[in-house]
Amino acid sequence: MCMEKLTEREAYSYSPLTLAFLGDSVYDTMIREYLLLKANMPVAKLHSAKIKLVCAEFQSKAYDIICEKLTERELAVLKRGRNATGNTVPKHADAAEYRRATALECLFGYLFITGENKRLSELFGFIINSELNNNEQIGV
């Protein structure tokens, strides 16, 4: 993907919900790549496994996994995302879970737009390799 990366200051000037908009796609793509490389299976099974890992409930748990591993700047971005005021909460998630999921997506968007791909991979690895993931039945 050929895209100009932003400085930390430029990226921080974007609203947390705008960063979460991008981060949602980044996180979703990383999950899809992980599942594809983990197992070659029918698309319907891949989709079912993906849904379990991109839902607000799982992302809220992922928030806890990475929270203590963040730099001060990353933690500030995470908190901005958590405190952002969105208009809607999906039926399948409570407000607290949804805010924490938005925070995770905000951080992923921020790291992507600033070109911190190595850090993105590291944080994603913490999430995927956590005991939480080992105990989840994701169908892979």
Which sequence positions are flagged as catalytic? 24
- Please list, in sequence order, all residues whose beta carbon lies within 8 angstroms of the beta carbon of residue 120, skipping any fewer than 6 positions away: 26, 30, 108, 111, 112
Among 7, 138, 127, smallest CA distance to 60 is for 127
- Please list, in sequence order, all residues whose beta carbon lies within 8 angstroms of the beta carbon of residue 123, skipping any fewer than 6 positions away: 66, 69, 107, 108, 111
Q: Is 43 exposed, middle or buried (0-12, 13-18, 19+ CB in 10 A)?
A: exposed
- Distance from C-alpha of 12 to C-alpha of 122, rounded to nearest angstrom: 21
